[in-house]
Structure 1
Amino acid sequence: MNSSELTAVDRDAAQLKALGYTSNFERSMSLWENFALGFTYLSPVVGVYTLFGLCLAAGGPPMIWSYLLVGFGQMLVCLIFCEVVSQFPISGGVYPWARRLVGKRWAWMVGWIYSVSLCVTIAAVALGAGPYIAAMLGFEPSPVTNTFVALALTVLATLLNLSGTKLLAKVAMFGFICELLGAIVIGGYLLIFERHQPFSVLFNTFDISIDGSYWPAFLTASLAGMFLYYGFEACGDVAEETPNPSKRIPKAMRMTIYIGGGAAIFAALALILAVPDIAKVLSGEDKDPMSTIMANAFGPTGWKIVTAVITVSFVSCVLSLQAAASRLLYSFARDEMVMGSSVLKRLSPNTRVPTAALITCGLIPAAIVCAGFYLENAIAIIVSFAAIGIYLAFQMIVGGALFARLRGWRPAGQFTLGGWGWIVNILALVYGLLAITNMSWPRTPDAPWYSNYGILLTSAVVIGIGLVYMVLFKPYDKGTAPFADAWKLHNDQNVSAPSRA
């Protein structure tokens, strides 16, 4: 290591020490590798392909505009996150940010909600991979097959993550390249050779209406965009594994939105225009338009090749999700915020990753996968809660940032919004609250109450368990790490490293 590299490492260590921590993580993740982690977590292929048929049937072709609207709203949230992580580049992401912006109790609830949501998301993505991997291997997709595939995928991701940061970065980069090229090549082929619909169909509602209006249907279909646009925060989860995090992570977060969102919109556009008969999708006659499109376009052999690309996307997505969840759990444990902290906060002396936290973040999703086997419509239930839980955690950060601004916080990292900070922060909070309302709004009045209010019920249970644990065991009082100090730090303090490439 030459003197300039040593100086850079020392700067990062000094910055972290000024924030109250020391770290034995290996800072080997480049800007593009950090971005790849966020991209494969967001995973446009997984996000679009998993919910395409469901959301097209709900809202018709105009559902594609939800990707733009949600993308704009999530970019507002991303910009607030960029300001926070630039000043507080600490492993674990939303938990340490909440701790510094608001306080220990707030941080506990953010970390709890987000960690549960991540574990549920890992299970959801692993289950979603089942039909594709089964088809590629020549098995008939079924609940049993999907469950076994999901468990195998979770085990594989855990083993890869246990191998260290360098392998995680390489697999994330490989997944990013495969997924982006796959989205471009598959989408381009569909647009050039398999386009069955005119571009005007993107504005055709096909007379879909709920209570005489199209908008409720569009809001239902907007789950497509809402399930897609998160993952950028994962770039900050590995802050202590990235050199010059104050500068690089905010850039990687924004790149995740730009590139990931662009790839998703392109993939969705190609799929919509390639649907042979949209009326059959809307009527329920074609229940799986994805398979219809791919079988028509590529045939049995070509479809297997396409499925292989999709499989890589699912594997890299689970890998990135688990990496993010483990760093959050490690960060929680480092501050003595959870049971078993002494074990969960240990890093392997060889791979320098949190071994116990990674194994835990494999076992919990595996248990959820097994439980989902006994639930009707398991994927829909799991996905819905995963999305709203992450949105809740996001808005607790956005609201926390606004609270800190009211207390006098002036972002002091290498990325700031300057005079736009207040406006963006308020708009991000308004957007997030509207999104949560839309996701949790009951839409099936004829269904049993526990089904109609399933998202609200599961959210209340998760929050309630977190509150009970917090009140009974007071985990927030056990650690000595700094908290609620964002507005006390000034620009002249050594809380962010000097600007460098």
Structure 2
Amino acid sequence: MAAKEMNDRADDAQLEALGYTASFDRKMSLWANFALGFTYLSPVVGVYTLFGFALATGGAPMFWSYLLVGIGQFLVCLVFAEIVSQYPIAGGVYPWARRLIGDRWGWMTGWIYLWALATTVAAVAMGAGPYLAALVGFEPSPFVNTVTAMLIIAGSTLFNLAGTRVLARVAMMGFLCELGGALAVGAWLLIFGREQSLSVLFDTVSVVGEGSYLPAFLAAGLAGIFQYYGFEACGDVAEEVPNPSRAIPRAMRLTIYIGGAAAMFVCLALILAVKDIGAVIAGQDTDPVWTVLTTNFGEGGARVVLLVVLVSFLSCVLSLQAAASRLMFSFARDGMLPASKVLVRLSSAHVPSVALIICGIVPAIIALGGYFLSNAIAVVVSFAAVGIYIAFQMVVFAAIVARLRGWKPSGPFNLAGWGVPVTFLAFAYGVSAIINLAWPRLPDANWYENYAVILTSVVVVVAGLIVLPFMRTGAVRAAVAGQ
């Protein structure tokens, strides 16, 4: 106990040196912190949700997008690990970018990320609807999706309000359930349900004939791009983790290692278990995941798998909401939001309760919009992934600028001489991914649907620039860039 108290004092002293007083309970272990990142990344949610689209668009070779995107995001992860090791501050991307460049850049980074998180919570919660419908035998519909989203968001909010210890336990349970389910289902499919040889992973002819496969691969690669974020959530709760400068960089890397490997394993198992990939590409089998599950496990067994999937959706939303609330708390602590004095208050469970409730209400409103304004909400939700990627690259760019100004990472986790090339490669990857996400691919759709990603991004950025001057007038402390 004495050693723990000494370590907690050292962590609090480090935080005070960065200009803040300890407010949270440091009750989240390394493995619980990793579980938070893993359930945010959620290989089951990511793969199951986009598998049909990716396979229909790019065929079996779309599998390699998971590997390529994983490498690119691992570079970003390393940059973040260096930064959080020096600045273990709640809120993640906002305080990191603010320390590296300054107030305005940090605020805009946090603003974009906050809205991206809100739309992602709504998108993930609504995405659980078809799985709940299949589980209980309902017909999938916008109404079912909306009701499911409301239930998941409400449950997530209650768990988060219960405190850091409950958050850590639920995240760990979600991790064990998701990883165990992914490994069990994947192993069964590979051993008993295999229909394809490994050569199918290189078969591009069935997708595009003799033409170029690159456009199809880039489009299908969106599945990989949507998969690999979540490691940053480990840093969002930095003030709730003992010895964060060492623990969080490790948890971030574990999120990529284990989460990425699990996603690739699940994807590979599903691909090899699809009996007729041509039917998926031709649009004759529109739900290959359900086809594979019912073929191999029967409807009863498939529903057990769907129950695991729904637990994964809940734990994913839980982690997303926790990250968003800590970001809002971090904003408010610096006086960068209206009603900051209210938003910064912690409940008896030592969590930012008002921020948590807001981070449940806003996604719920977005999800309700999905029922009444389906086309409009599709445009809004399209911002979810690209907004996160933009915020990520704003942090990476901030690291580049800070390095050019003479900043040298001084935390326990340090890339040393590899820092500069890794940071530049991470930025190059991130910009490429953003371009791929924003690229218009629906020539027959309405213009606002075809350019939805660009449109929503511009709206969020312009709104942030309009609001920024008013927010900064209330700032209570200035960050010294690079220190």
Task: Give yes or no for contact 1:38–1:231 (8 Å, CA) kept in 2.
Answer: yes
Q: What is the identity, as a one-letter code, of the residue corresponding to 1:273?
A: L
Cα distance in 2, alignment partners of residues 481 and 21 from structure 1: 10
1:484: Cα distance to partner? 3.6
Match of 1:421 in 2: 419
> AA paired with 1:465?
A
Q: Give per-residue Cα distances to partners, 1:4-38, cap 9 Å, x unaligned.
A: 11110100110000000002201010000000000
- Structure 1: 5+ residue stretches without partners: 490-501
Amino acid at match of 1:266: F
* AA of the residue aligned to 1:14: A
CA distance in 1, matches of 2:323, 2:223: 22
Determine whether 1:198 maps to 2:197: yes
* Equivalence for 1:66: 65
Q: Provide Cα deviations, 1:406-426, integer angstroms capped at 9, x if missing partner.
A: 000010101010001000011
- Residue 365 of structure 1 is matched in structure 2 by 363
Distance 1:189 1:377, change over 3 A: farther
CA distance in 2, matches of 1:86, 1:336: 24
**CA-to-partner distance for each residue in 1:358-394, whole Å, 9 max, x for gaps?**
0000000000001112344688645532110000000
- From 402, 408, 411, the equivalent of 1:410 is 408
Counting aligned pairs with the same residue, the percent is: 60
Do residues 476 (structure 1) and 475 (structure 2) align?
no
Change (3 A) 1:321 1:296: same
* Number of the residue aligned with 2:481: 485
Other-structure match for 2:382: 384
Q: What is the alpha-carbon distance in structure 2 between the residues aligned to residue 84 and residue 445 of structure 1?
A: 41
Give the superposition deviation at 1:469.
0.8
CA contact (8 A) 1:128 1:379 kept: no
Task: Give the superposition deviation at 1:444.
Answer: 2.0
Q: Distance in 2 between matches of 1:5 and 1:470?
A: 41
Report the CA distance between 1:451 and its aligned residue: 1.6
Deviates more, 1:133-142 or 1:433-442: 133-142
The equivalent residue for 1:232 is 231
DSSP-derived class of the 2:99 partner: helix
Q: CA deviation at 1:300?
A: 1.3
Q: Which runs of 5+ in 2 are unaligned?
A: none
For normalisation by structure 1, the TM-score amounts to 0.94
Contact 2:206 2:278 survives alignment (8 Å) = no
Q: Secondary structure of the equivalent of 1:208?
A: helix
Q: CA deviation at 1:476?
A: 2.2
Q: What amino acid sits opposite 1:154 in the alignment?
A: I
SS in 2 for 1:91: coil
- 2-structure distance, mates of 1:366, 1:429: 33
The CA deviation at 1:340 is 1.5
Say whether the 8 Å CA contact 1:121–1:382 is kept in structure 2: no
Q: Which residue of 2 aligns with 1:351?
A: 349
For 1:59, the aligned partner's letter is G
Say whether the 8 Å CA contact 2:63–2:267 is kept in structure 1.
yes
C-alpha distance in structure 2 between counterparts of 1:140 and 1:323, whole Å: 32
Cα distance in 2 between the residues matched to 1:143 and 1:118: 22
Code of the residue aligned with 2:413 in structure 1: it is F
For 1:211 and 1:352, the matched residues in 2 are separated by: 60
2:436 corresponds to which of 422, 430, 438? 438
Deviations along 1:432-465, whole A, 9 cap, x unmatched?
Answer: 1111111101112232221211110111111111
Equivalent pair of 1:119/1:361 in contact (CA under 8 Å): yes
Structure 2 partner of 1:323: 322
- Aligned positions of 1:449-460 closer than 5 A: 449-460=447-458
SS at match of 2:444: coil
- TM-score if structure 2 supplies the norm length? 0.98
Q: For residue 305 of structure 2, what is the amino acid of its counterpart?
A: V
Instruction: Kindly report which structure 2 residues correspond to 1:204-223, keeping only aligned pairs within 5 A, or say none.
Output: 204-209=203-208, 212-223=211-222
Contact between 2:366 and 2:377, CA under 8 Å: does it hold in 1? no
Q: Deviations over 1:202-258 (max 9, x none)?
A: 001144339942100100000111000000000000000000000000000000000
- Shift, 1:312, TM fit: 0.9
Q: Is the 8 A contact 1:83 1:413 kept in 2?
A: yes
User: Contact between 1:29 and 1:243, CA under 8 Å: does it hold in 2?
Assistant: yes
Q: Secondary structure at the match of 1:135?
A: helix
Corresponding residue SS for 1:248: helix
Maintained 8 Å contact 2:121/2:317: yes
Counterparts of 2:43 and 2:140, CA distance in 1: 23
Name the counterpart of 2:101: 102
